[in-house]
Chains A and B, each alone.
Chain A
């Protein structure tokens, strides 16, 4: 198989992955191309390779997570790094230790890469400015969840070949969704048209300034789109009454078997998980032939391995540049 390699001459230089907004199309493509090389590690007899041997990764999660946390842990393990698991509930954060103090103390233990999830937007950026380790954003507030954006984009590119010219609907609670934002940045940069779909109460305030189209009616867009990404209704984040009832939300914005009959036959159905079955998506659709929800999870592993590998390589390169400077 001839390998399509669009980004051969490109050099990756970022030792932090804070968001996709700041990345160029070329950088995003480079991560996705690199991830292709990591996919096979998970399919062979020894599911491990040595590039991060002797490196320490800390999973610094101030919010709950199943997929992202396990995916990063497994990705780090498969690259032979050692991993420290940190959760807010069982740590000294419950005694009042600040984010920076926590990170600095972990750094004093000799960590190389911090994977951080935090309910405050900008927390990963703050960390990256104050510690020497590489920082990877695993979700910050309502801002970004870059590895989810990358794995969604990777999944689409793998099946459709390219993002160029695709119409992609992201449906649901856009206002509270960092996934929607990271998806939007990655997908539009690679040439797709993104449509945010949801009730006005769940749209972000400044949505008109984002590079997307907006629709308040799923029935208007379902026939046109090549990909539909159904977001989870995040009950833990919803304040007030954004919609009159769950039943009404499902009626207007749920992806049902009935609605799917009007969609393109090769539409890709995505969901970042965890699924509220029967609410934003019917079980039959979530488990149906157009669904790539589990592929997203599998691809997430390859993408996260690629990101861990690349930020570490950038750190090595920076160290090399520093050594050269010292010599001269």
Chain B
């Protein structure tokens, strides 16, 4: 097990992501942050907090459950039983710049599912993908707009993101 980001580094990465998002988004546009359950949800809350503070206005935050949009639901090769949870987005996503947040970008399949789920909720002005860790191994033509830490991890490894809110401490490890 190797720690690739500690709590200070995670905070620094999130600040960089926030600055990057702000520098590329015209101020007149409405931003909203939506996290993919479950680690993306926590990261989205932190990002929306930082964005709200720096913009001096409330940046709404929501949570997206992508289970129903997964492409392996009816595949007999799926490893774990999928668990359906709630999507909680208390605002209209139409015409907003949606910052879609996940902890790790790997195959790109979650991001694909998340985009399909979002489009069923409305028509955002744009969807931008922000991730804490960007690792190699894409299976779909999807890239992050805002990538925190780029990990050159071999396929057999597991990149585990632990966060205070869900796991008790901030840490990204490779197992």
**Interface residues of A, Cβ cutoff 8 Å to B:** 1, 3, 5, 8, 11-12, 34, 36-41, 44-46, 48-51, 53-55, 79, 306, 309, 312-313, 316-317, 319-320, 323
Q: Which residues on B sit within 8 Å (CB–CB) of A313?
A: 73, 81-82
Q: Which residues on B sit within 8 Å (CB–CB) of A38?
A: 84
* Alpha-carbon distance between A111 and B79 when the two chains are bound, in angstroms: 25
Contact A48 B65 (CB under 8 A): no
Instruction: Tell me which of B67, B74, B76, B120 contacts A45 (CB under 8 A).
Output: B120
Contact B85 A5 (CB under 8 A): yes
Nearest-CB distance from B34 to chain A (Å)?
Answer: 14
By DSSP majority rule, is chain B's interface helix, strand, loop, or mixed? loop
* Alpha-carbon distance between A39 and B152 when the two chains are bound, in angstroms: 40
Nearest-CB distance from A147 to chain B (Å)?
Answer: 17
Contact B86 A3 (CB under 8 A): yes
* Alpha-carbon distance between A46 and B68 when the two chains are bound, in angstroms: 14
Q: Which residues on A sit within 8 Å (CB–CB) of B85?
A: 3, 5, 36-37
Contact A50 B68 (CB under 8 A): yes
Nearest-CB distance from B71 to chain A (Å)?
Answer: 9
Interface flag for B95 (CB, 8 Å): no
Q: Which residues on A sit within 8 Å (CB–CB) of B65?
A: 37
* Alpha-carbon distance between A151 and B77 when the two chains are bound, in angstroms: 32
Contact A44 B120 (CB under 8 A): yes
Contact A317 B81 (CB under 8 A): yes
* Alpha-carbon distance between A265 and B122 when the two chains are bound, in angstroms: 40
* Alpha-carbon distance between A55 and B83 when the two chains are bound, in angstroms: 20
Interface flag for B75 (CB, 8 Å): yes
Nearest-CB distance from A239 to chain B (Å)?
Answer: 44
Interface flag for B78 (CB, 8 Å): yes
Contact B84 A306 (CB under 8 A): yes
CB-defined A-B contacts under 8 Å, sample of 10: A34-B84, A37-B68, A46-B120, A49-B120, A50-B68, A79-B68, A312-B74, A313-B81, A316-B74, A319-B76
* Alpha-carbon distance between A46 and B94 when the two chains are bound, in angstroms: 13
**Interface residues of B, Cβ cutoff 8 Å to A:** 65, 67-69, 73-78, 81-88, 116-117, 119-122
* Alpha-carbon distance between A46 and B121 when the two chains are bound, in angstroms: 6
| Chain A residue with the shortest CB-CB distance to B94 | A45
Q: Which residues on A sit within 8 Å (CB–CB) of B67?
A: 37, 51
| Chain A residue with the shortest CB-CB distance to B92 | A45
Contact B81 A323 (CB under 8 A): no
Q: How many A-B residue pairs have CB under 8 A?
A: 68
* Alpha-carbon distance between A306 and B67 when the two chains are bound, in angstroms: 12
Nearest-CB distance from A9 to chain B (Å)?
Answer: 10
Contacts known (A50-B68, A320-B78); A37 close to B121, Cβ less than 8 A: no
Contact B86 A316 (CB under 8 A): no
Instruction: Tell me which of A8, A37, A55, A79 contacts B86 (CB under 8 A).
Output: A37
Contacts known (A1-B88, A50-B68, A306-B84); A316 close to B78, Cβ less than 8 A: yes
| Chain A residue with the shortest CB-CB distance to B90 | A1
Closest CB pairs A-B (n = 7): A37-B84, A46-B120, A49-B68, A320-B76, A319-B76, A51-B68, A34-B84
Q: Which residues on A sit within 8 Å (CB–CB) of B86?
A: 3, 36-37, 39-40
Most buried by B among A48, A49, A53: A49
Q: Which residues on B sit within 8 Å (CB–CB) of A48?
A: 120
* Alpha-carbon distance between A313 and B119 when the two chains are bound, in angstroms: 25
| Chain B residue with the shortest CB-CB distance to A309 | B84
Contact B81 A12 (CB under 8 A): yes
| Chain A residue with the shortest CB-CB distance to B65 | A37
Q: Which residues on A sit within 8 Å (CB–CB) of B117?
A: 49
Nearest-CB distance from A38 to chain B (Å)?
Answer: 7
* Alpha-carbon distance between A96 and B84 when the two chains are bound, in angstroms: 42
* Alpha-carbon distance between A319 and B76 when the two chains are bound, in angstroms: 6
Nearest-CB distance from A35 to chain B (Å)?
Answer: 9
Nearest-CB distance from B60 to chain A (Å)?
Answer: 14
Contact A40 B87 (CB under 8 A): yes
Nearest-CB distance from A115 to chain B (Å)?
Answer: 19
Nearest-CB distance from B57 to chain A (Å)?
Answer: 22
* Alpha-carbon distance between A316 and B83 when the two chains are bound, in angstroms: 14
| Chain B residue with the shortest CB-CB distance to A12 | B81
Q: Which residues on B sit within 8 Å (CB–CB) of A1?
A: 88
Q: Which residues on B sit within 8 Å (CB–CB) of A309?
A: 68, 84
Q: Which residues on A sit within 8 Å (CB–CB) of B75?
A: 316
Q: Which residues on B sit within 8 Å (CB–CB) of A5?
A: 85
